[in-house]
Amino acid sequence: MLKQCTEIWELVDKKRPLVHCITNYVTVNDVANILLSAGASPAMIDHPEEAEGFAALASALYVNLGTLSQQQQAGIMVACKTTAANNIPVILDPVACGVVPFRVQVMKQMRQYAPLTLIKGNTAEIKSLAGEETRAQGVDSLDSGEGMEQICMNLARQESTIIASTGPTDVITDGRRCALVKNGTPLFEKITGAGCMVGGVTAACIGAAPEEPWLATITGLLAFTLAGERAAADADNRPGAFHLHLFDHLYTLKKEDLLKEARVEWL
């Protein structure tokens, strides 16, 4: 399966999937640039008059609710209608959904128009969606992540979608199969937008291989976390330098690097 992931990573560069992003304004530039570093093509379009038609051109729609506005909400819904009509995958990051319950309502509204291919969130967000007690501070999870494999599998079956929970160990499941990605670095917690960026990278991988969304999600998380490890080694524990090196290392990451350095447990 790891070999399939490396092939998907190559496909991103070959196909240059167009990722339609409706994402938060705090990290919109980082998401656009990380997509370029991955080999994809970003489009940051959220106005309803533009989002409706543009979504039909995309390989994937990435929705991040981090700074949700009325315009974005309207854009998300018309984009979802278009993706459903054209069988385009939808990736959702329900940022701070346990702290701001309205975002759960937006997620439910989205599902009235289109199926969700992937719901990606941190431990607190995923546990909140699963109805579990959790701890969070704003958009950040304070949860240890204990028992996440079963929680994610149950939620994936309940929502009929892929679930990815990010943390020290990332959990990715479609309800039947589960993978644990153990690459990464604590420096992800010292910059704004790591979760937003990895959401964009997973959307690019799913856009490149829509027939294998579970493996594509694993591929995106593997590539991003491995690039993070390499960036941290260069940054000497400096968040600013880490942020800078992250784009370079994702850009230069090859499938051979994934084969050699990936730490994945298949359950």
- pLDDT tens per residue, range 197-247: 999 999 999 999 999 999 999 999 999 999 999 999 999 989 999 999 999
End-to-end CA distance of the chain: 12
Look up residue 187 and give its amino acid. L
Best-predicted range by mean pLDDT (4-8, 66-70, 133-137): 4-8
For the chain, how many structural domains are there in total? 1
CATH number (domain holding residue 140):
3.40.1190.20
| Chain centre distance of CA 52 | 22
Q: Partners of 136 in the beta sheet?
A: 141
pTM of structure = 0.94
Mean pLDDT confidence for 165-188: 97
Q: Partners of 180 in the beta sheet?
A: 171, 265
Residue 125 has pLDDT above 70, yes or no: yes
Q: How far apart are CA 133 and CA 122, in angstroms?
A: 14
Residue 146's alpha-carbon distances to 30, 91, 143, in angstroms, are 30, 25, 8
- Are 17 and 208 a contacting pair, CB within 8 Å? yes
| Closest-CA residue to 152 (of 139, 164, 142) | 164
pLDDT (0 to 100) of residue 139:
45
Q: For tokens 């080694």, what's the residue?
A: 233
The residue ranges of DSSP E strands in 94-224, in sequence order, are 118-122, 136-137, 140-141, 162-166, 170-173, 178-181
Structure tokens at 40: 């994809």
The lowest-confidence range among 22-36, 106-120, 130-144 is 130-144
Give pLDDT tens digits for 242-261. 999 999 999 999 999 999 99
- Are 202 and 216 a contacting pair, CB within 8 Å? yes
pLDDT (0 to 100) of residue 38:
98
- Which pLDDT band, with edges at 50, 70 and 90, does 101 fall under? confident
Phi, psi at 231, each rounded to 5° = -65, -40
pLDDT (0 to 100) of residue 106:
93
Structure tokens at 50: 């533009």
Range of the structural domain that residue 17 is part of: 2-266
pLDDT (0 to 100) of residue 97:
83
Q: Which residues contact 173 (CB under 8 A, 6 or more apart)?
A: 149, 152, 153, 156, 162, 163, 179, 214
- Which pLDDT band, with edges at 50, 70 and 90, does 141 fall under? very low
Residue 140 has pLDDT above 50, yes or no: no
pLDDT (0 to 100) of residue 145:
60
Give pLDDT tens digits for 4-50. 999 999 999 999 999 999 999 999 999 999 999 999 999 999 999 99
Look up residue 175 and give its amino acid. G
Mean pLDDT of the chain: 93
